[in-house]
Amino acid sequence: MSSLLQQLLNGLSLGSAYALIAVGYSLVYSILLFSNFAHGGFLVIGGYICYYSLTKMGLGLLPAALLSLAGAGMSAVLTERIAYRPIRRRGALTLYLLIASMGMSIVIENFWVIAVGGRFRAIPPVIPTSPISVFGTTVSSFDLIVLAVALSLLLGLELFLRRTRWGLAIRASSYDVRTAALMGVDTDRLVAIVFFVAGALASVSGIFLAVRYTLYPQLGFITIKAFVAAVVGGLGSLPGAVLGSYLLGVLEMLVAGFISSQVRDIVVFLLLVVTLLVRPQGLLGRRLEEKV
Amino acid sequence: MSWEYLQGVLVLFLVNSIAAMGVSLLTGFTGVFTLGHAAYMSIGAYALAIGMGRYELPWPIALLLAGVLASLVAYLVGVPTLRLVGDYFAIASIGLGETVRLLVENWQSLTRGARGYPGIEPFADLWVVGGIALAMGLAMFNLTRSRFGRAFKACRDDPLAASTMGVDTTSMRIVSLVVSAFYCGVAGALFASFMTYVQPAMFDLSKSTELTAVVVFGGLGSMSGTILAAAVITLVVEAFRGLAQYRMLIYGLVLVTTMVLRPEGIMGEKEIWHLLRGRRG
């Protein structure tokens, strides 16, 4: 029973990391209608900035985290400016954006391979991982911290989207970018804000994942699971992305804990296929119909 | 440079061309982005290795089996993912690549796991591979210039308009995927025979990326561009073996810069003979 509770919390903690990736990915998808495969790169950039701020610059956790948020956010904006905006301006097929994003993902990953090497690095123990006792069972304090931080950031994002003018503009653009632009929304600036937010949230997840596992250039590959979570929840829907992420995190940990950790990645893929067969719009997705 | 070495490079080029033609049909002509086609090569390679090794099939039948099995898996993946508009297939393709690799690594009794499957009969010399590549190349050129080829392009350029004109876009996308998987399956099988052994690590995400990079570089919608790009990549990989760590970086840069500066690739939608005759495609 207590191991079940531990695995559940472990899954919620992993799901939190997925959720922070998946909301950024969904946000970009809802506006530009393409899967930004470079999203995993922002997570890795955030992770490395945090690592070097802690080890080389001797900063504390909070300044290091803020630095990595800003750094990852800026590189997301820069990626959009360099690789996507020229394609977007031409009004070309979203296929081109997809290919360019895959290219950027490879460039970012291999930049780190060449710059700092492919080896695994452990983040200094700045986030406590000691076990603590809750309701009679021992759980990892790290998992609780991750869950708390992720939930407050997701709440913050929700408030930003509901209560601010830019939030309103983003929600309007997710229905129809062109109409929103005609209503006076500066699309380029809006896209930059969306990418900054997406990159910053991904970097938080990057720090968590680097503590949970280790830091290495291919860590960004984990975003594919966040993409699957976003599809399960409903592509383009933010609450869906969060729900899908927690569902996937818990499922993965239960499979790893009670069946075998070898099959957990296969289960993720099966979940994707089953979702697409049974409920292609996802749990909370809008209806899939093309606008003419 | 010995004749054996040259022969080896030529076989690699032909194998890469067959696989790249498959991806070109799907991504270049039909507009479906994939990052998992190495999985179909892997399925083909193992189908041949196991078909010849365990069941002692003659190689032409094992080779056919390799292509058919890859097509079958593609059909099973395509039906749920391609009937939807959106990036579902792209996401699933990466998942498939990983799933196939995990299955091959863990299904020890059938595939002999991560260490690989040795002792495959090396029937794939230059003449066999050359003949198969020629036949499959001709079939592909004919396909792209047929009614199907035009339907594929319509799915890529404007699926909505295509369906209004009576093209069943879902079926067309699935047909395109099944054919492209057949090409990759056969290419994987030939590669396995040429190497005489097969390992799951041969068909990882970077192989899938290479295939897509070749197609994008050669020009979306140009078969001869794809083959030209396969030749360039094969030669570049051979010439710069020492710089392997930059290889992926270069693929990435090729993808981004091609899309930003010249999304139509080196050939655009033209085929080589259009340039020779000096008229537009």
CATH at residue A10: 1.10.3470
Element (H, E) at B104: helix B88-106
Residues A196-206, mean pLDDT to the nearest whole number? 96
Number of folded domains that form chain A: 1
pLDDT(B156) > 90: no
- A59 Rama sector, left if φ>0, alpha if ψ -120 to 50, beta otherwise: beta
**Looking at beta carbons, which residues of chain A come within 8 Å of B248?**
106, 109-110, 113
Q: Which residue has the higher pLDDT, A200 or A34?
A: A200
In a domain, A128, yes or no: no
pLDDT(B280) > 60: no
Pick from B89, B90, B80: nearest CA to A279: B80
A28: which residues sit within 8 A by CB, 6+ positions away?
Answer: A34, A36, A39, A194, A195, A198
Q: For the whole model, what pTM was predicted?
A: 0.87
In a domain, A129, yes or no: no
**Looking at beta carbons, which residues of chain A come within 8 Å of B212?**
99, 102
Q: Are A206 and A47 in contact (CB under 8 A)?
A: yes
Residues A42-61, mean pLDDT to the nearest whole number? 92
A60 touches chain B (CB under 8 A): no
Domain span at residue A72 reads 2-121+137-278
Within 10-29 of A, beta carbons closer than 8 Å to B belong to: 29
In a domain, A25, yes or no: yes
**Confidence (pLDDT) at A292:** 40
Mean pLDDT (chain B, rounded): 88
How far apart (Å, rounded) are the C-alpha atoms in residues B153 and B148?
Answer: 9
**Confidence (pLDDT) at A221:** 87
Please list the residues that pair with B117 across neighbouring strands.
B198
* pLDDT tens column, A101-146: 989 999 999 999 989 888 899 888 777 777 877 777 777 888 889 9
> Between chains, do B253 and A107 touch, taking CB under 8 Å as contact?
yes
In a domain, A85, yes or no: yes
Q: Are B69 and B43 in contact (CB under 8 A)?
A: yes
**Confidence (pLDDT) at A286:** 65
**Looking at beta carbons, which residues of chain A come within 8 Å of B157?**
93
In a domain, A196, yes or no: yes
| Coil, strand or helix at B145 | coil
Pick from A185, A159, A182, A153: nearest CA to A170: A185
> Between chains, do A110 and B248 touch, taking CB under 8 Å as contact?
yes
Instruction: Give the whole-number percent of chain A exceeding pLDDT 70.
Output: 96
Which band of pLDDT confidence, cut at 50, 70 and 90, is reported for residue A287? low
Q: Are A268 and A228 in contact (CB under 8 A)?
A: yes
Which band of pLDDT confidence, cut at 50, 70 and 90, is reported for residue A207? very high
Within 256-275 of B, beta carbons closer than 8 Å to A belong to: 256-260, 263
Mean pLDDT (chain A, rounded): 88
In a domain, A14, yes or no: yes
Calculate how close chain B gets to A235, using CA atoms only, in Å: 9
Of A161-170, A191-200, B25-34, B240-249, minimum mean pLDDT range: B240-249
In a domain, A209, yes or no: yes
**Looking at beta carbons, which residues of chain A come within 8 Å of B86?**
33, 235, 288
Instruction: Output the six-digit token pair for A176.
Output: 């129809």
Pick from B105, B86, B90, B109: nearest CA to B35: B90
Q: Which of A132-136, B46-50, B208-212 has the highest mean pLDDT?
A: B46-50
In a domain, A285, yes or no: no
